[in-house]
Amino acid sequence: MQKFSVIVLMTILLSSCASSTEEKKNTRQPSKQWWKESVIYQIYPRSFKDTNGDGVGDLKGIIEKLDYIKSLGVTAVWLNPIYSSPNDDNGYDVSDYRNIMQDFGTMDDFDQMLEGMHDRGLKLIMDVVVNHSSDEHEWFKQSRSSRNNPYRNYYHWWSAEKGKPPYRYSLFDEKGDAWKYDPLTKAYYLHYFSQKQPDLNWENPKLRQEVYDIMKFWADKGVDGFRLDAFGFAAKDTTFPVFPEGYEKEFSKYYSMQGNLHQYLQEMNEQVFSKYKVMSVAEGAGNSFQDAHNLVDEDRKELNMAYAFEGVDIAKPDGYSLRHFKEVFSRWDSAFAQKGWLSIFLANHDQARLVSRFGNDSPEFREASAKMLNTFILSMRGTPYCYYGDELGMTNIGFTSIEQYKDISAINGYKKVLNSGGNIEAYLTDLKFGSRDNGRTPMQWDDSTQAGFTTGTPWLPVNSNYSQINVALQENEPNSVLNYFRKIVQLRKDNPVLVYGDYQLLEPAHPDIYAYTRTLEGKKMLVLLNFTSKTTRIQLQEMGSVKETLINNYSSVKMEEGEVSLQPYQAVIFSL
Ligand code: GLC
Ligand code: CA
């Protein structure tokens, strides 16, 4: 500690001589927008807070926790789907887009929740699931009832007399087949996801108009943004050409960004986004930087920000290379440095827990690595998305048998492996690490039964570590992951350099430390993150200009003569 303060004093003296006029040429002036400055908190409503003891989280639960959400410093909430749904895929199969799922409450609850958010200065982003609907949606009931029904063309049908349709891969189907035969009208319908999620026909202008009207309904209620679920897949070549054998290994190339997708987005922008002050983000970002750019190039008037998966896909059960991680995030940043805007995230409802996938969830390193990863998310250029529970460092639950899983993709994936004679053990090992259910266990509020999530039986078990990892405990602990999260959020909000500043990667080849600077209008910050469980050092000329430690997940940091030594999973941000 003492050594630290002497060195800091030295560096402060030294840095006062350093020039602050450097790096003028590369700086751009990105347009300032509320959604760029937002810190988004994602809530999986099923798992956040149950108020009536049925074991399922609800809107009243979110209302009850609005002060908590506000206390995090986050400025917007993205809610996973809350519309009426038979819950084949937990709300991603919508049966009525203008109603609230019974499990979650009523429209009155919704109105009250939205008002409560707005009263606290929080914006609300709704999930719009319109690549497909539920097979229990009225449109589909009509559509399947006869070949002449006016809703027939709301979906994709292939008449049986044409023979079997060309193979289409399904992500959730237990046979992997996206065509389901319906004897009622002797035709197959298309479902990229489960059989209960038939794909909507975006080539039909009537369907598109229905969707825009639905979006206007919610925009009129005052919601502040939309996240477009699986939207990259919406446009299709309805002649259904034969795809090359084995295409499913890279199905996204064949499914994503096809046909008239950009025109549909421009139409949606014209009819909805431009008429309201709402933000928009699609799930996925196409197959290339060009696709991603085209989605969010302001001049094209489509969407506001890209949400690319390359970063979150890096973590694997046997680990990942930090060099690769740095390379991916740096490549995306530079591709968007002049134009467009990115989302920054390492977790969501389709991923396992942040700390278990990218950090270290052992008792020794869980807290430090959770803080370090949150520092990363909140110090990059792009809008940060923080998933509920990651502010506590919640971990994977680690199910070992298929009976424990609730997620349709896990269950049908299991059947598929079983049917095809694949390796079940390997499949279960992968699930244990990466299953979506890991990231969906109930929020851990306190150490009472069921972690204070419910008085009943939770729909998915509470992680058994809840008595060590919960909000109540962390509230009272100044150095908890939770209180650190609040600090790093505040730091970002106080410093536009962390939002808009240029990003520059330092020492790309360093295997353990991620080091970068952020620079804006003469302000400069240095971010240092140790991604390993060992103490490690890095030499940086920037260390000579360190002025102040802005945040640190340890109580000190060792620096001497251009070198800094970081403890396991240490994260530090300095001003330069
Ligand atoms: C998106 C959602 C995922 C859902 C799927 C089908 O990928 O994020 O949760 O299962 O679309 O709607
Ligand atoms: Ca409930």
What pLDDT is recorded for position 28? 53
What percent of the chain is modeled with pLDDT above 70? 95
- Cα–Cα–Cα angle for 347, 289, 42, rounded to 5 degrees: 20
Q: Mean per-residue pLDDT for 431-446?
A: 98
Percent of the chain beyond pLDDT 90?
A: 94
Digit-coded pLDDT (tens) for 117-131: 999 999 999 999 999
CB 252 within 8 A of CB 288: no
Q: Above 90 in pLDDT, residue 4?
A: no
Task: Dump pLDDT digits (tens) for 531-551.
Answer: 999 999 999 999 999 999 999
Dist CA 83 CA 513 (whole Å): 43
Report, in angstroms and rounded to the nearest whole number, the Rg of the chain calculated over CA atoms: 24
Mean pLDDT of 332-357: 96
Give the C-alpha separation, 188 to 173, whole Å. Answer: 14
Q: Is 88 close to ligand 1, i.e. is its CB under 6 Å away?
A: no
Number of alpha carbons in the 13 Å side-chain half-sphere of residue 25: 0
Pocket test for ligand 1, best of 43, 89, 170, 231 (most atoms within 8 A of CB): 89
Q: Could you give the C-alpha distances from 291 to 164, 303, 307, 461, in angstroms and in order?
A: 32, 12, 12, 40
Task: Output the average pLDDT for the chain.
Answer: 94
Q: What is the pLDDT of residues 164-175, one digit of tens each?
A: 999 999 999 999
Predicted local distance difference test score (pLDDT) of residue 277: 87
Q: Is the pLDDT of residue 190 over 90?
A: yes
Amino acid at 86: P
5-15+34-131+204-399+439-487 homologous superfamily: Glycosidases (3.20.20.80)
Q: Write down the catalytic residue from 229, 391, 407, 437.
A: 229
**229 is known as an active-site residue:** yes
Q: What is the pLDDT of residues 511-526, one digit of tens each?
A: 999 999 999 999 999 9
Based on the residue annotation, tell me whether 283 is a catalytic residue of this protein.
yes
Q: What is the mean pLDDT of residues 6-18?
A: 36
Give the model confidence (pLDDT) of 237-285 as tens digits.
999 999 999 999 999 999 999 999 999 999 999 999 999 989 999 999 9
Q: Is the pLDDT of residue 19 over 50?
A: no
Report the DSSP beta bridge partners of residue 425. Answer: none
Q: Which atom of ligand 1 lies nearest, measured to the CA of 132?
A: 12
Is residue 440 lining ligand 1, measured as CB closer than 6 Å? no
pLDDT for res 560:
87
Closest ligand to C-alpha of residue 88 is 1
- The CA 47 to ligand 1 mean position distance, Å, reads 16
**Mode of pairing for the β-strands spanning 123-128 and 76-79:** parallel
Q: Is the pLDDT of residue 157 over 80?
A: yes
Residue located nearest, by CA, to atom 4 of ligand 1: 92
Q: Tell me the mean pLDDT in the region 338-357.
A: 97
- Say what the pLDDT of residue 533 is: 98
- For the segment 25-30, the average pLDDT, to the nearest whole number, is 54
Which atom number of ligand 1 is nearest to the Cα of residue 93?
12
Given a cut of 80, is residue 50 above it in pLDDT? yes
Average pLDDT of 461-486?
98
Question: Which residues, other chains included, contact 148 with Cβ-Cβ below 8 Å and sequence gap of 6+?
Answer: none
93 lines ligand 1 (CB under 6 A): no
Domain 501-575 has CATH 2.20.28.90: no
Which protein residue has the closest C-alpha to ligand 1 atom 3?
Answer: 350
Atom of ligand 1 nearest to the CA of 92: 12
* Per-residue pLDDT at 89: 98
Query: Looking at per-residue confidence, does 1 or 304 come out higher?
Result: 304
Residue whose CA lies nearest to ligand 1 atom number 2:
229
Environment class of residue 294 by beta-carbon count within 10 Å: exposed (0-12), middle (13-18) or buried (19+)?
buried
Q: Are 86 and 196 contacting, i.e. CB atoms less than 8 angstroms apart?
A: yes
- pLDDT over 70 (residue 143): yes
Residue 234 · residue 261 · CB < 8 Å: yes
Q: What is the mean pLDDT of residues 360-386?
A: 98
Atom of ligand 1 nearest to the CA of 350: 9
pLDDT of 453: 98
Ligand 1 lined by 129 (C-beta under 6 Å)? yes
Helix (H, G, I), strand (E, B) or coil at 521: coil
What the block records as the tokens of 361 is 């969830």
Angstrom distance (rounded) from CA 254 to CA 240: 11
Query: Domain limits of the chain?
Result: 5-15+34-131+204-399+439-487, 138-190, 400-434, 501-575
Q: Give the Cα separation of 271 and 269 in Å (integer).
A: 6
What does CATH list as the number for 138-190? Answer: 3.90.400.10
Confidence band of 561 (pLDDT split at 50, 70, 90): confident
pLDDT at 22 over 70: no
Q: Is the CB of 229 under 6 A from ligand 1?
A: yes
| CA 33 to centroid of ligand 2, rounded, Å | 36
Calculate how far, in angstroms, residue 416's C-alpha sits from the geometric centre of ligand 1: 19
What pLDDT shows up at residue 8?
39
Predicted confidence (pLDDT) at residue 24 exceeds the cutoff of 50: no
Residue 20 has pLDDT above 60, yes or no: no
Tokens of 312: 């979150």
User: Can you give the pLDDT at residue 9?
Assistant: 36
What integer pLDDT is reported at residue 29 of this predicted model? 61
